[in-house]
Structure 1
């Protein structure tokens, strides 16, 4: 029964991370930490890394801390909260950096309608080069209209 609890906690944490991401993206990245996120909104940033990549470290820290306290002194629920955050981070990397921004050319020619909808929503987000007037701050759960245009 405890394994079922750990699975539910991991999935629930993964799901909640989408809300955390949306809030962080809208109010932190497009707010007081815009100076770290701004280069991400500039066309053809000339470096391999962006200042925006610092957010990977910022989001990894709670996961690492939860892993540590989730195994000391014994395995506990904190480990699985950290696991949910880690799995979301992996999904974020694959969707955001690989699929959407093509930093790696792994899913360049996808025909998957769901993934195309995610890509479209993010491109709409990036049409704004400044921190104001943004839209589509989420990553996995975007407005339905972006998926519907690929159903035909």
Structure 2
């Protein structure tokens, strides 16, 4: 029974982290104070790191604190910390690797869930600045046609990335 509870804590934390990440991305990173770090993520990157990577450090500090608290006070916090860490790994692989191509090789998904995730985040970056962006999640992506409709008429969309609303799914 303990194993089941621990697995559920890890998986539940991963699911909850998507909501935490969405809220942090939308209202902190795209907010007036958080934009100072996150702006680097919406600009051309020079070198392997950007100021936005400091958010990953902040989440890592939370995970480390949870691991420490779990080892000192309540062991279940260790499994919650494992869920936070697993979410960070998924974020690193999907967001940094797949979407932003921060890997030493390039892969663009052609179909399925990964394609939708890739397109949704590309549409997030179609807007100049912090206002008017769509799709703030990292492992969930709304349907691409819905995002294109939300962007339609937005004056701050980069002209080269202006999406046409059509049944076609490519960006």
Under a length normalisation based on structure 2, what TM-score does the superposition of the two structures give?
0.80
Q: Which has the higher helix share?
A: 1
Greater RCO, CA 8 A, separation 6+: 1
Checking the alignment, whether the CA contact within 8 Å between 1:98 and 1:106 is kept in structure 2 is no
Root mean square deviation of aligned Cα: 1.9
1:128 alignment partner, SS class: coil
What is the CA deviation profile of residues 42-79 of structure 1, one whole-angstrom value per residue up to 9, with x for unaligned ones?
Answer: 1x322221000001101111110111111225x71100
Question: How many residue pairs get matched?
Answer: 148
Q: Which residue of 2 aligns with 1:114?
A: 113
Q: Which residue of 1 aligns with 2:128?
A: 129
2:28 alignment partner, SS class: helix
Larger-gyration structure (1/2): 2
Q: Which residue of 2 aligns with 1:46?
A: 46
2:20 alignment partner, SS class: helix
- 1:59 and 2:65 aligned: no
Q: Which runs of 4+ in 1 moved over 3 A?
A: 109-112
Q: Which residue of 2 aligns with 1:96?
A: 95
Under a length normalisation based on structure 1, what TM-score does the superposition of the two structures give?
0.89
Give the C-alpha shift of residue 141 in structure 1.
1.1
Segments of structure 2 that go 5 or more residues without pairing to the other structure are 146-166
Checking the alignment, whether the CA contact within 8 Å between 2:18 and 2:139 is kept in structure 1 is yes
Segments of structure 1 that go 5 or more residues without pairing to the other structure are none
